[in-house]
Amino acid sequence: LAARDPRFWRSSAADVSGISICCFLRVCKKQLVCLQSQDRCLPGAWSYRWLAPVTKQTSPFSKHLQRLQKLNQQLEEKNGEIQQMINQPPYEKEREILRLQKTLAEKEKAQATSDVLCRSLTDETHQLQRKLASTAEMCQHLAKCLEEKQRKEKGNSDDQIATERSNQLLDNETSLQALICNLREENRMLKQKVAHVEDLNAKWQKYDASRDEYVKRLHLQLKEMKSQLENSDLMHKEIFRLNKLLEEKMNECVKTKRELEDVKKASEGDNERIQMLEQQGEFLEGRGQP
């Protein structure tokens, strides 16, 4: 009991040595084992395990035991760490002891909260057991009432079944007739749609054929226009060539005309000179006769 009191650890914190740390660890292990045995022997643990197959949930006590085992494992690891820290300076030992005391206080708080949780779960388990017992009694009572009601209604059930079957047959017949009428109407509508689709298909085929013919005509016209354009290009080239040739001929004509004019001018000059020479010859002849 003194080991579970935090004042026990705070009072002797300054005098802790390597041997006292080992004793501290052994006491902590004993405390954990004691807590585990107390958790196994709680009064509500058996009743909660009895309800576990009904609720199909994991027991919080088993979780708590797993947590305690995990803490025990961590404590063993800390034991190894403390054995390694024995050879360290005293102030580091005191710091580690203070940290361990703080950790122990936190663990004690967690243990207290877990104890409160266990008590609340135990009370809740007892309440659920009472509710389950009352529910089972109510179910048995309702089952007896249902059996009596079925026995009373069994005598009139045959007549009711016959009338229900006849009514069901009539309803089925009317529903079948309505279904047949609907199917006929749908068949008629489908035939109309098929005829409309066939008409559209025929129109489309005609349009497709006319479109092909129109496209062919356009191709022919394009070919003719291309040939005409090619011919027009040839004609333009020929006209250009002839115009060029005509221009050359006209230039030659102008040149020959100029040459002819020059020749005419030269011949006129020669004629004038010849006349002048003839006049001079006649004049000379006239003077030579006397």
How high is the pLDDT of residue 171? Answer: 78
For the entire predicted model, the pTM comes to 0.24
Q: What is the extent of the structural domain holding 129? A: 6-146
pLDDT at 5 over 60: no
Task: Tell whether 127 is covered by a domain.
Answer: yes
pLDDT at 282 over 80: no
How high is the pLDDT of residue 9? Answer: 43
Q: What is the DSSP track for the chain? A: --TT-HHHHHHTSTT--HHHHHHHHHHHHHHHHHHHHHHHT-TTHHHHHHHHHHHT---HHHHHHHHHHHHHHHHHHHHHHHHHHTTS-HHHHHHHHHHHHHHHHHHHHHHHHHHHHHHHHHHHHHHHHHHHHHHHHHHHHHHHHHHHHHHHHHHHHHHHHHHHHHHHHHHHHHHHHHHHHHHHHHHHHHHHHHHHHHHHHHHHHHHHHHHHHHHHHHHHHHHHHHHHHHHHHHHHHHHHHHHHHHHHHHHHHHHHHHHHHHHHHHHHHHHHHHHHHHHHHHHHHHHH--
Structural domain count of the chain: 1
How high is the pLDDT of residue 253? Answer: 76
Task: Tell whether 39 is covered by a domain.
Answer: yes
Task: Tell whether 243 is covered by a domain.
Answer: no
Task: Tell whether 18 is covered by a domain.
Answer: yes
Task: Tell whether 120 is covered by a domain.
Answer: yes
Task: Tell whether 94 is covered by a domain.
Answer: yes
Task: Tell whether 201 is covered by a domain.
Answer: no
Mean pLDDT of 102-126: 82
255-266 pLDDT, tens digit per residue, is 877 887 877 777
How high is the pLDDT of residue 155? Answer: 62
166-183 pLDDT, tens digit per residue, is 777 777 778 778 878 888
Task: Tell whether 67 is covered by a domain.
Answer: yes
